[in-house]
Amino acid sequence: DDGYRLWQRYDLLKNPQKRQQYQENITSLVTAGNSPTLTVARQELELALSGLTGKPFRTSTTVGTGALIIGTPQNSPIIKNLNLAAKLNPLGPDGFLILSTTVNGKKVTVITANSDIGVLYGSFQFLKLLQTQQDISKLSISSAPKIKNRILNHWDNLDRTVERGYAGFSIWDWHKLPDYIDQRYLDYARANASIGINGTVLTNVNANALILTKDYLVKVKALADAFRPYGLKVYLTARFSAPIEIGGLKTADPLDAEVKTWWKNKAAEIYSYVPDFGGFLVKANSEGQPGPQNYGRNHADGANMLADAVADKGGIVMWRAFVYDNKVPDDRAKQAFTEFKPLDGSFRKNVLVQVKNGPIDFQPREPFHPLFGAMPKTPLMMEFQITQEYLGQATNLVYQAPLYKETLEADTYVQGTGSTVAKVIDGSLHQYQLTGIAGVANIGNDRNWTGHLFGQANWYCFGRLAWDHTLSSDKMADEWLRMTFTNEEAFIKPVKAMMLQSRETLVNYMTPLGLHHIMGYDHHYGPGPWIKDKKRADWTSVYYHKASPEGIGFDRTSTGSNALSQYAPAFQQKFGNPQTCPEEFLLWFHHLKWDYKVKSGRSLWDELCHRYYNGAAEVGKMRQTWQSTQAYVDAERFNHVKMLLNIQEKEARWWRDACVLYFQTFSGKPIPAGLEKPTQTLDYYLKQDPKFVPGI
């Protein structure tokens, strides 16, 4: 088994009692309407129910005992007669109900919603119940997404390379489009619909203007047509200089009348191919990308110009706040806030500012971005990275739900205790009407989609959280494991525990105690705490860890860069004092002496070493845990994970030894007693780093 089916595996349920219960509860499928969306819902239910229960299911027009009835009050007279308006109204266009009820005295199950897509979402939720072996005899489920736009960001280039993609090449085969619709496109859309994802940005934020030309737009249309039944809207990245590059204009100044007209016409052209086109995602004036600042304009000028071009069709603009350059030499962490906060209130209604979870760049651990809570008049959208650019790429098993949850549940304190980041992005704190969340996709053309089989869990939990950010990491891991592998407790319990611990383990062997950005230069793989003397200081590691014989850490308090001042006063109070600052963020906010005493009673140096060693040791335990599950997993998937865990253990030791040896050159202290000594010298690790050429 190569993992292609993701969590949508409908093999015969092993438990005979459950199978019987399901067969009794669902005897036939009653559908109404034949829209493309209801058709795929019906097909999915037929496929899944026959697979799971071993009994073929056919659509019937009459309601008998055990009927599964799907549809909306508009297209199903049976559902209309149930008078569910009071329950359905609050659920919006995407929400759904799953109810055990009676029709003409017959016990039935109903999946209904205000729209066909809601019915599809409800159908997938219903199947999840069966796949995870829940009781389905007395159902009363009502569910609606907390966030409106739940979007994957593909960083895919037109030549099929993927920026920071570790699962092969892009799944979009531009060469064969528009005529060839790969089955993968449909399976991709199905998988997304099954977790409620309703949008996809097809192209890299480091954008290529060619995607906006007719030759590509016909291909985009083909994808949009394939995705539409699954409720998946298509978005594109807009290269800010496109009017010059493909439009023949002399400028891309957002206030120039010709430029505005060019974008209006371009948007109209896109809508002529894709009538429900979602809008644009833009990276501007960041890492060399063109933007409004090239013309002395600001981010709002740029975003508003594009927003005006798509507004009449209901399109949105997602304008990224990931901006930095040499202008803020003391601390890159401050720049986005400095540039965006003054613009609060000056964006059009259909603009979302898309903010990465932390102020630097998708590190294994960062505090939440200070813009969350700081722009009450501008809808902010969360950007998480699903692809593991800084988290061991596709060789490390890291379940990222705890990382996402940590950010979402963090308290901004902007309106008193409990003003969480989640409440900012779901719109409830500042009454944003427009809400969104994005995940940078980890999907490629590898058979198993994500390179590492457990990378699928990150795609899964991103979608689930986008729908309902209150779900726990435990619950999502549980669902995913049951659907992807087996319902056997002897498997679920240890593997779930391993998943839940995996992110903390990675933090420990890479960047414990608030360290960050000490990875290999450019490729971002493996340790590189020694990186210095590059063309930009904020692309080095020494800029971030500031290790010296005296201590280590980035002072972001008022005695340092004062990035802390960008947070609410209550946050400043807690994080500004090393005694009360949560230890996991200690060296993010403070520069401390090597003999500073941490909570364990150890010196900072000893604690650092212990964390590195614990992290690496934990990977050894992960390997053992996996080994103990062999009886429950098919050989192909078992060996795949086993081999990757072997690699991960080597890499964890590599990180551990390289970092400890490097930081030891500053602390001048021995590795604490009881911890094995590294077998190699620091010089060995430096020579292994292909990019360690000072000055490049």
Can residue 260 be called a binding residue for ligand BDP (CB under 6 A)? Answer: no
Q: Is 504 a catalytic residue?
A: no
| Binding pattern for the stretch 166-205 against ligand BDP, x by CB under 6 A and - elsewhere | ---------------------------------------x
User: Closest separation between CB of residue 633 and ligand BDP, Å?
Assistant: 33
Nearer to ligand BDP, 267 or 440 (CB): 440
Footprint (CB under 6 A) of ligand BDP, residues 453-492: none
Tally of CB atoms within 10 A around 81? 11
Cβ–Cβ under 8 Å, residues 622 and 652: no
Nearer to ligand BDP, 322 or 612 (CB): 322
C-alpha neighbours within 13 Å on the C-beta side of residue 571: 29
Taking CA atoms, 401 is separated from 195, 477, 502, 620, in Å, by: 14, 8, 10, 22
- The residue from 65, 66, 107, 163 that contacts ligand BDP (CB under 6 A) is 163
Q: Which residue from 172, 175, 177, 152 is spatially nearest to 162, judged by alpha carbons?
A: 172
Cα 70 from Cα 116, distance rounded (Å): 9
Region label for 369, one of left (φ > 0), alpha (ψ between -120 and 50) or beta (otherwise): beta
Nearer to ligand BDP, 287 or 312 (CB): 287
Helix 257-273 / helix 214-227 crossing angle, nearest 10 deg? 50
- The residue from 148, 164, 334, 517 that contacts ligand BDP (CB under 6 A) is 164
Cα 328 from Cα 344, distance rounded (Å): 20
Exactly one of 2, 135, 276, 287 is catalytic; name it. Answer: 287
Greatest CA span in the chain, whole angstroms? 82
Nearer to ligand BDP, 205 or 403 (CB): 205
Backbone angles phi, psi at 89, to 5 degrees: -50, -45
User: Closest separation between CB of residue 124 and ligand BDP, Å?
Assistant: 30
| Binding pattern for the stretch 353-392 against ligand BDP, x by CB under 6 A and - elsewhere | --------xx--------------------------x---
Cα 303 from Cα 361, distance rounded (Å): 22
Exactly one of 116, 301, 389, 406 is catalytic; name it. Answer: 389
Region label for 285, one of left (φ > 0), alpha (ψ between -120 and 50) or beta (otherwise): left
User: Closest separation between CB of residue 148 and ligand BDP, Å?
Assistant: 23
Footprint (CB under 6 A) of ligand BDP, residues 28-87: none
C-alpha neighbours within 13 Å on the C-beta side of residue 189: 25
Nearer to ligand BDP, 159 or 287 (CB): 287
Footprint (CB under 6 A) of ligand BDP, residues 103-122: none
Q: Is 361 a catalytic residue?
A: yes
**Residue nearest ligand BDP by beta-carbon distance:** 361
Nearer to ligand BDP, 205 or 333 (CB): 205
User: Closest separation between CB of residue 205 and ligand BDP, Å?
Assistant: 5
Cα 341 from Cα 370, distance rounded (Å): 10
Residues 34, 39, 45, 46: what is their CA dihedral angle, to the nearest 10 degrees?
A: 90
| Binding pattern for the stretch 603-642 against ligand BDP, x by CB under 6 A and - elsewhere | ----------------------------------------
User: Closest separation between CB of residue 447 and ligand BDP, Å?
Assistant: 25
| Binding pattern for the stretch 123-162 against ligand BDP, x by CB under 6 A and - elsewhere | ----------------------------------------
User: Closest separation between CB of residue 522 and ligand BDP, Å?
Assistant: 8
Exactly one of 361, 406, 426, 538 is catalytic; name it. Answer: 361
Cβ–Cβ under 8 Å, residues 136 and 130: yes
Nearer to ligand BDP, 322 or 626 (CB): 322
In the structure encoding, which two tokens stand for residue 326, read together?
A: 């040499």
Cα 73 from Cα 336, distance rounded (Å): 47
User: Closest separation between CB of residue 407 and ligand BDP, Å?
Assistant: 16
Region label for 101, one of left (φ > 0), alpha (ψ between -120 and 50) or beta (otherwise): beta
Cβ–Cβ under 8 Å, residues 319 and 343: no
Footprint (CB under 6 A) of ligand BDP, residues 291-330: 322
Residue 640, classed as helix, strand or coil, is helix
Nearer to ligand BDP, 118 or 529 (CB): 529
What's the start-to-end Cα distance of the chain, in Å? 44
| Count of chain residues binding ligand BDP (CB under 6 A) | 10
Cα 593 from Cα 552, distance rounded (Å): 7
User: Closest separation between CB of residue 361 and ligand BDP, Å?
Assistant: 4
Beta strand extents in 412-526 (DSSP E only):
436-440
Residue 116 parent element (H or E): helix 116-131
Footprint (CB under 6 A) of ligand BDP, residues 266-285: 283
Backbone angles phi, psi at 428, to 5 degrees: -75, -30
Nearer to ligand BDP, 116 or 339 (CB): 339
User: Closest separation between CB of residue 324 and ligand BDP, Å?
Assistant: 10
Q: Is 607 a catalytic residue?
A: no
Nearer to ligand BDP, 241 or 603 (CB): 241
Cβ–Cβ under 8 Å, residues 154 and 135: no
- The residue from 100, 206, 294, 680 that contacts ligand BDP (CB under 6 A) is 206
Cβ–Cβ under 8 Å, residues 561 and 330: yes
Beta strand extents in 20-167 (DSSP E only):
28-31, 59-60, 67-71, 96-103, 106-113, 140-143, 149-153
Nearer to ligand BDP, 206 or 213 (CB): 206
User: Closest separation between CB of residue 362 and ligand BDP, Å?
Assistant: 6
User: Closest separation between CB of residue 320 and ligand BDP, Å?
Assistant: 7
Interacting residue ranges for ligand BDP, rule: CB under 6 A: 163-164, 205-206, 283, 287, 322, 361-362, 389
Active site residues: 287, 361, 389
